[in-house]
Amino acid sequence: MIRNKVYELRTAARMTQEDLARRLRVTRQTIISLEKNKYIPSLEMGFKVARLFGKAVEEVFEYGEE
């Protein structure tokens, strides 16, 4: 399972879901699903998210077996 820290990073940056969606050029619904770990982004989107927050991909996304 892939988990992420998007919610934590977004709230620490004082961004709304709409702000993040706009910056990533996706819908707010995509951000909601991403934060709930119900959406696994493409590799390209993963890099965009990580770079937006100044993090390595591994600092934002984590793979673990259930």
The whole-number pLDDT of residue 57 equals: 97
The whole-number pLDDT of residue 66 equals: 64
User: pTM for the complete prediction?
Assistant: 0.90
pLDDT in tens, 9-47: 999 999 999 999 999 999 999 999 999 999 999 999 999
Q: Where are the beta strands (DSSP E) in the chain?
A: 2-4, 61-63
d(CA 23, CA 49): 9
Residue 64 predicted with pLDDT over 90: no
